[in-house]
Amino acid sequence: MSTLAAAESTTAVNATAGELRLQVCAIIDETADARSLVFDVPEALRARFAYKPGQFLGFRVDVGGQCLTRCYSMSSSPWTDARPKVTIKRVAGGRVSNWMNQCVQVGDWLKVLPPAGHFCIDQHQAADTTRPLVLFGGGSGITPVFSLLKAVLHAGQRPVLLVYANRDEASVIFRDELRQLAKAHPEQLHVVHLLDTLQGFVDAPQVRQLVRLWRGADYFICGPGPFMDTVESTLLALGEARERIHVERFVSPPDPCSSGTAQPAIEAQGAVCELLLVELDGVTHQIVPRPGETLLHSCRAAGLDVPFSCEEGFCGACMCTVQEGQARLTRNDVLSSAELEAGWTLACQGHPQGARVRVKFPA
């Protein structure tokens, strides 16, 4: 290894803290309140940062003496873009989003968690022409949707409807790129822009009208909470299959205590788990968990490479299903009531309850 390569590897991986760092190699001002950060990934970290269209990166940022964790979706696609790119919109009072927009410069190194998230597709799904794909993006929720869109257009001829809602025309992120994609794929891609200043907020009649010719599609939805709730509930009322409706929800966790220490975890209650069965990539592993451990801690202590990101219960990267027994959540800001009823839990917040518990991580 050359001296330069060795230096880059040392910078990218902080051996003392086990932290991964990526260097910002380009910054793109998308709108007055949104920018994209492009990262250079050293050869030593290429495998760790391989990702699927629609996934996100987690960032640990020191702001005002506190370490804050936030997740931002990648607007890049691994099949069309040479480097990963996240797009971040300022949020009123958002400490990290404003810091990312105001302070980060080309050449800076940021603490970055590996890609995560289930709001994604693989190459087979992207090329599937048996049913159309309908994408709903609201505001900065266009970010993972844009990644999915580029991937599908690159993979084949799957018909795509993109519905993109914004406050006004100046708020439209990726405006020029979307125009170019629509021009390059006139038969495959149909783009509908909705502006609050013209059409008002998206409502159920609008959604019904938009999808009337696209029924039976796969749906991906990301944006503000009320926007996603309206679209999802309308699709379900129309009889669309719940398993074909994918919603990406992000929330920001509360800041750490002023002392700089994390908030104490809620004590898990219930029967002590004597045997934890974990199905990962088709293989079942037997673990004897220690009392009080979360599912994630037990898995990692056993050497299992299970997915996770924020470890604070707000990103959903560690979602898994409880197949046997129960798991008590100490915190949940991402799972819907329907997902909880279907058996989903968060490994980073779930405590196994009962003598024998079995969980399964999605492939």
Same domain membership, residue 300 and residue 237: no
- In percent, how much of the chain has pLDDT > 90? 75
- 161 touches 214 (CB < 8 A): yes
In the chain, the number of structural domains is 3
pLDDT over threshold 70, residue 281: yes
- 77 touches 150 (CB < 8 A): yes
Look up tokens 């939805």; give the residue.
221
In a domain? residue 142: yes
Residue 90's domain is classified under what CATH number?
Answer: 2.40.30.10
In a domain? residue 172: yes
Q: What is the pLDDT of residue 255?
A: 54
Alpha carbon 10 to its chain's center = 28
In a domain? residue 255: no
pLDDT band of 93, cuts 50, 70, 90: confident
Q: How far apart are CA 234 and CA 91, in angstroms?
A: 27
What mean pLDDT do residues 140-153 have? 97
Same domain membership, residue 69 and residue 164: no
In a domain? residue 149: yes
Same domain membership, residue 98 and residue 22: yes
Same domain membership, residue 301 and residue 232: no
In a domain? residue 325: yes
Q: What is the pLDDT of residue 81?
A: 97
What mean pLDDT do residues 129-156 have? 97
What pLDDT digit, counting tens, does each position of 230-253 carry? 999 999 999 999 999 999 986 655
Q: How far apart are CA 271 and CA 31, in angstroms?
A: 53
Structural domain ending residue among the three candidates 231, 248, 265: 248
In a domain? residue 258: no
In a domain? residue 270: no
Same domain membership, residue 81 and residue 32: yes
Same domain membership, residue 353 and residue 303: yes
What pLDDT digit, counting tens, does each position of 195-239 carry? 999 999 999 999 999 999 999 999 999 999 999 999 999 999 999
Residue 328's domain is classified under what CATH number?
Answer: 3.10.20.30
Same domain membership, residue 228 and residue 160: yes
Structural domain ending residue among the three candidates 66, 83, 116: 116
Q: Which long-range contacts (CB under 8 A, 24 or more apart) does 93-100 make?
A: 94/252, 95/63, 95/64, 95/68, 95/255, 96/59, 96/61, 96/63, 96/68, 96/70, 96/252, 97/70, 99/61, 99/63, 100/35, 100/37, 100/59, 100/61, 100/72
Same domain membership, residue 128 and residue 234: yes
pLDDT band of 258, cuts 50, 70, 90: very low
pLDDT over threshold 90, residue 31: yes
Query: How far, CA to CA in Å, does 340 sit from each of 36, 120, 337?
Result: 34, 20, 5
What mean pLDDT do residues 82-109 have? 95
Same domain membership, residue 189 and residue 153: yes
Domain span at 171: 123-248
In a domain? residue 317: yes
Half-sphere exposure of residue 5, counting CA atoms within 13 Å on the CB side?
5
How open is the CA angle 309-311-316, to the nearest 5 degrees? Answer: 60
Rounded to the nearest integer, the mean pLDDT of the chain is 89
Same domain membership, residue 285 and residue 238: no
- Closest of 72, 81, 157 to residue 119, by C-alpha: 72
Same domain membership, residue 55 and residue 148: no
Same domain membership, residue 163 and residue 58: no
pLDDT band of 65, cuts 50, 70, 90: confident
Q: How far apart are CA 246 and CA 316, in angstroms?
A: 13
Residue 198's domain is classified under what CATH number?
Answer: 3.40.50.80
Q: What is the pLDDT of residue 348?
A: 94
